[in-house]
């Protein structure tokens, strides 16, 4: 018996010793470079609609060699560019990060506020006011901020886009730099929030005058126009006609159209805006030596031109199809450069969109599909008359982003119950043509919704910044001109976007499981072994971070 006990004691001691001497797991290695690609106004179905027109090294490569989250959606409303970029990088919704729209009525000043407006800074690289921009209006950190903090500010973070908000919000508060396009100089600028002056390499890039060179040619289709079988006829009544043109058809003679259509700013509404962005992104990686240090660097690049083209021509236009065929080539060039400069196994790339886009309502109406247009000015005038008749005062300070902002001081002076005023407005507006539902601030502050458009409206509602009454239009309805399209609704045509992860530690595959746009930042945080952004409400995507 003593012999058996001795053996057991020895075995147990050996086991305990083995357990105490096991080396702790070392941290997983990190990618040398993360590249976040956001495509402005990219619908999920474009991947498949234009698949046969794509080459093998752009979208196809990302899908075939990366992991495609096919059921990725925005989980708030309104689906605009500013909130979209902020939500991707903060991992939360406007309820928390505060970017409730591209611009909104500011209750504290009584004026409209642009989402990246900052009068306390100055322009760098231009004398125009377009440089007075910063992320000060965003209330939370971004994944890029957390990367900088985690590396003791050694990681480089840079944002690049034609649109200022698309470069600034992803780069975050602590970025090394953010650069955006200024048509007055035909080059990229920044603000004193980041830099005292443009780096020499940016100045040299601007001296090349690439925007002007791109615009010295007409915009014609890349392949024979009869092969654009995924689009409606080139000559149709659903598209914007530029000044100087008689029809919205190819070729668009850019050298002749420039003067009457914004000068060098016209590049935004052409695929060459994507090419210019790609050129600058490559120059950024090369000149800043991104991916070459011991810490992870981050380049946030946004392609803005698809949004301008979609607004003007709509999702079924030859212009938009040609744009994506050309963008595919730009992506292929960017990915190939990253492979050469950093290496596929050292770079983590993700691609998504800041929102999608609906069909042109007039096109749907011609197909006998329910759709229509809201005249917000008429609706506002009608509402003001109702309030004046009911309360002896219009009580309205502003109507913006489908939200009514009320004059609380005027209501108090008349001893009105603000909640009752909100309810009266909701009851008055609800029966109007094209209105789906109306929610009051009181309801959004006291109730809790878990699904549907009301849930999305609540996630986009910030109690300090949003209005007193929020209005949602019916599917297919919008306040817009009768040609082209816009976005901002809680419906799948605006919320469903692509999401692809590619490169470092990514195994090829796809999933149709529900993913929210706010999950991207949480997933990146897990991959990089850093803190979530401080307002993050998203969750790591499980099949990417097992």
Q: How high is the pLDDT of residue 546?
A: 79
DSSP per residue, 13-79: HHHHHHHHHSPPPPPPP--SEEEEEEETT--TTHHHHTGGGS-TTTHHHHHHHSEEETTEE--SS--
Round the average pLDDT of the chain to a whole number and report it: 95
Average pLDDT over residues 348-361: 98
Compute how many other C-beta atoms are within 10 angstroms of the C-beta atom of residue 59.
Answer: 25
Taking only the tens place, the pLDDT of each residue in 108-162 is 999 999 999 999 999 999 999 999 999 999 999 999 999 999 999 999 999 999 9
- Cα torsion through 111, 112, 114, 115, rounded to 10: 90
Partners of 189 in the β-ladder: 180
- Is the model's pLDDT at 5 over the cut of 50? no
258 DSSP β-pair partners: none
pLDDT per residue over 439-481, tens digit each?
Answer: 999 999 999 999 999 999 999 999 999 999 999 999 999 999 9
The dihedral through the CA atoms of 516, 522, 528, 534 has a sign that is positive
Is residue 284 scored above 50 in pLDDT?
yes
Task: Give dist(CA 205, CA 195) in Å, integer.
Answer: 17
Tell me, what's the pLDDT at 28?
58
Rg of the chain over all Cα atoms, to the nearest angstrom: 26
pLDDT at 474: 98
∠ CA 538-305-228, rounded to 5°: 110
Would you state the pLDDT for residue 4?
41
| pLDDT of amino acid 8 | 39
Q: Does 10 have pLDDT greater than 80?
A: no
Pair 94, 462: CB distance under 8 Å: yes
Write out the E strands in 256-346: 297-303
Residues 522-532 pLDDT 10s: 999 999 999 99
- Rounded to 5°, the CA angle 495-497-500 comes to 150
- 20's torsion region: left (phi>0), alpha (psi -120 to 50) or beta? alpha
Q: Fold identical between 36-365+490-528 and 375-433+435-473?
A: no
CB 189 within 8 A of CB 177: no
CATH architecture classification, 375-433+435-473: 2-Layer Sandwich (3.30)
With a pLDDT cut of 90, the percent of the chain lying above it is 94
Report which DSSP code applies to 474.
P
450 belongs to the catalytic site: no
Q: List the domain boundaries for the chain.
A: 36-365+490-528, 375-433+435-473
* pLDDT, tens only, 216-231: 999 999 999 999 999 9
Helix then strand then coil, in percent of the chain rounded to 5, is 40, 15, 45
Domain boundaries 36-365+490-528, corresponding CATH code = 3.40.720.10
Catalytic residue among 81, 142, 144, 277: 81
40-75 pLDDT per residue, tens:
999 999 999 999 999 999 999 999 999 999 999 999
Q: Which of 218, 214, 216 has its CA nearest to residue 251?
A: 218
CA distances from 524 to 70, 318, 466, 507 (A): 18, 36, 29, 15
């Amino acid at each position: 018996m003593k012999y058996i006990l001795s053996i057991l004691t020895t075995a147990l001691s050996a086991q305990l010793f083995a357990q105490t001497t096991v080396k702790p797991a070392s941290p997983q290695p990190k990618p040398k470079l993360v590249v976040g690609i956001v495509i402005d106004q990219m619908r999920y179905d474009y991947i498949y609609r234009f698949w046969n027109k794509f080459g093998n090294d752009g979208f196809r490569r990302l899908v075939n060699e990366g992991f495609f989250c096919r059921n990725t959606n925005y989980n708030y409303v309104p689906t605009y560019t500013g909130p979209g970029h902020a939500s991707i990088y903060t991992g939360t919704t406007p309820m928390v990060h505060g970017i409730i729209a591209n611009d909104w009525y500011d209750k504290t000043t009584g004026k409209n506020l642009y989402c990246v407006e900052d009068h306390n800074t100055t322009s760098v690289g231009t004398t125009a006011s377009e440089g007075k921009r910063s992320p000060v209006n965003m209330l939370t950190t971004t994944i890029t901020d957390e990367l900088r903090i985690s590396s003791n500010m050694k990681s480089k973070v840079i944002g690049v886009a034609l649109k200022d908000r698309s470069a600034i919000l992803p780069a975050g508060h602590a970025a090394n730099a953010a650069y955006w396009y200024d048509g007055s100089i035909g080059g990229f600028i920044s603000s004193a929030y980041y830099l005292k002056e443009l780096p020499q390499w940016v100045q040299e890039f601007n001296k090349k005058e690439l925007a002007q060179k791109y615009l010295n040619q007409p915009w014609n289709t890349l392949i024979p126009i009869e092969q654009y079988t995924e689009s409606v006829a080139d000559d149709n009544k659903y598209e914007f006609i530029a000044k100087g043109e008689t029809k919205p058809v190819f070729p668009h003679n850019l050298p002749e159209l420039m003067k009457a259509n914004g000068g060098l700013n016209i590049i935004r509404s052409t695929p060459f805006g994507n090419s210019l962005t790609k050129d600058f992104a490559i120059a950024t990686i090369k000149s800043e030596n991104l991916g070459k240090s011991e810490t992870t660097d981050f380049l946030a690049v946004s392609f803005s031109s698809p949004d301008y083209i979609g607004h003007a021509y709509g999702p079924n236009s030859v212009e938009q199809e040609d744009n994506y065929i050309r963008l595919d080539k730009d992506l292929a060039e960017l990915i190939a450069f990253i492979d050469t400069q950093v290496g596929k196994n050292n770079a983590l790339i993700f691609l998504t969109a800041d929102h999608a886009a609906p069909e042109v309502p007039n096109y749907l109406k011609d197909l006998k599909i329910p759709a229509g247009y809201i005249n917000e000015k008429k609706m506002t005038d009608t509402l003001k008359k109702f309030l004046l008749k009911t309360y002896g005062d219009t009580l309205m300070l502003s109507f913006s982003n489908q939200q009514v902002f009320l004059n609380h001081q005027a209501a108090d002076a008349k001893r009105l119950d603000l909640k009752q005023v909100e309810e009266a407005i909701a009851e008055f507006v609800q029966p109007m043509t094209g209105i789906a539902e109306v929610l009051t601030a009181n309801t959004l502050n006291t109730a809790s919704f878990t699904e549907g458009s009301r849930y999305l409206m609540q996630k986009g509602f910030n109690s300090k910044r949003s209005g007193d009454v929020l209005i949602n239009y019916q599917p297919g309805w919008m306040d817009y001109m009768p040609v082209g399209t816009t976005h901002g609704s809680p419906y799948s045509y605006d919320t469903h976007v692509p999401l692809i992860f590619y490169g470092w530690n990514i195994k090829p595959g796809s999933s149709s499981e529900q993913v929210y746009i706010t999950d991207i930042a949480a997933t990146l945080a897990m991959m990089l072994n850093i803190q979530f952004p401080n307002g993050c409400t998203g969750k790591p995507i499980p099949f990417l971070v097992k």
